[in-house]
Structures are given as C-alpha cells and as structure tokens.
Amino acid sequence: MPASSSARSRRSVAPHEPVPCAPPPTPRVGFHDTGRWEPSTFASGDLYEVVRINEHRWLLAIGDVMSHGAQASRTMAIARAQIRELAHTSRRADELLLRLDGYMRDNAPSRQALTLFVAMYDHNDRSLEYSSAGHPYPLFSRDRRVDRLVGRPGVLMGLPMVAGDGYHRSSKLVTAGDRLLLVTDGLFEVSTDLGGQLGIDGPTTSIAQHC
C-alpha cells in the first residue's frame, strides 16, 4: 500500500534535482507511511494526519489553511482534532468532509479557508476511498507509472458564504508496491535556480519515481 508524504519548503533547488525522500517509513498493518514537514515560518497551517480507525482500516488526511501565521495554526489545530474524532464516526470520506465543513463554519476563525484531502484505506479488500475539499489530488504510482488520482473536488471548507453541492467520493483498488504521494502547495512553490517555481507537475512526479 502507498507511502504517504507531505511537504512544505521554501528552499531553492536545481530544475532537475530530485526532491529528497522523506524519512524511513513507519510500518503499519497493511501499509507503510512516512511524512516530511518543513514549515516556511514559525507558524504553519499545513495538516497531515494518519488515524487508525480499527485493526484493518486507516484514514489519511492532508490539508492546507489558505493563510499564514497564528490564525492559520489555530484553524489547523481545530481541523486536526475534529478529523481524529470524525474518523471513528464517519463511514465514508465524503461524509467526513461534509461533517467537518459544518463544524469549521461554526467554530473556526472567520475567513480561514481550508483545503483538505482525505482517504480511507481498508486492508481487507485493498480499497482506497477518497474525497477532496479543493485540495490537489495525490499522485498514484504503480510499476513506475505515475498518474494523478481522479475525482470531483468539492468547495473549500470553513467559508459560511460559499455554497456547494456536497463532497464526492471516488475509489481505487490498490496492490502491494503501490505508492500514494500527498503534498501541499508549498512544494509547488519551491524556487528553481532558473528563477521560476517547480509547479504542480514538477517535483511530485520526481518523488514518486525515486523515493
């Protein structure tokens, strides 16, 4: 099952330099996961979470508060606490996002939008069910072939004046050796020696192929 990774960095890299792999993976029942978190300031709104639901089901989540500083960190902390609780009471990824969005609208600091991707992995049937609230879909690597997971993203979370039509759930069967790469937009903003940015399709493919 996939290795999960989050990253946020501001360092400069050469255009074709592979982004360093994350630390050694943590073994779990049915899969391994690893994460790398590099906040660009003292306070970060990035979120990465792995929650054990039961002996064969796990929840993976990655998100990003669309601001910086103390308020973003507070919003992230509220979301993380709720994700840990809702993971045990939500049957599906889309249900969790809908319930979390309602809570964030009522309880999080105002004007603190949150993007979030959540996936539920069941080791019994090797299924990966996932939903997105405006967050980029992860890359999925199998046998050196890299594709982005497909789905229909919902609206950002925590914005009372933004209306949506709920969140949508997609699924994929996984096999031994598959990898899933989850990132925040900080990775896309890493500067290259040419003065540009790596972008959404730059470092992520390199990581999935080399790590």
What's the pTM value of the predicted model, to 2 decimals? 0.77
pLDDT number for residue 195: 61
Q: What is the pLDDT along the chain (211 residues), one digit of tens a residue?
A: 544 444 343 333 333 344 444 445 555 656 777 777 666 655 567 888 999 999 899 999 999 887 777 778 888 889 999 999 999 999 999 999 999 998 998 888 777 788 999 999 999 999 999 999 999 898 888 887 888 899 998 888 887 666 667 899 999 999 988 988 888 765 555 556 656 655 566 655 565 555 5
Backbone angles phi, psi at 104, to 5 degrees: -65, -35
Distance between terminal CA atoms of the chain?
14
Q: Are 48 and 61 in contact (CB under 8 A)?
A: yes
Domains contained in the chain, CATH given? 26-210 (3.60.40.10)
The sign of the dihedral angle between the CA atoms of 107, 50, 35, 117 is: negative
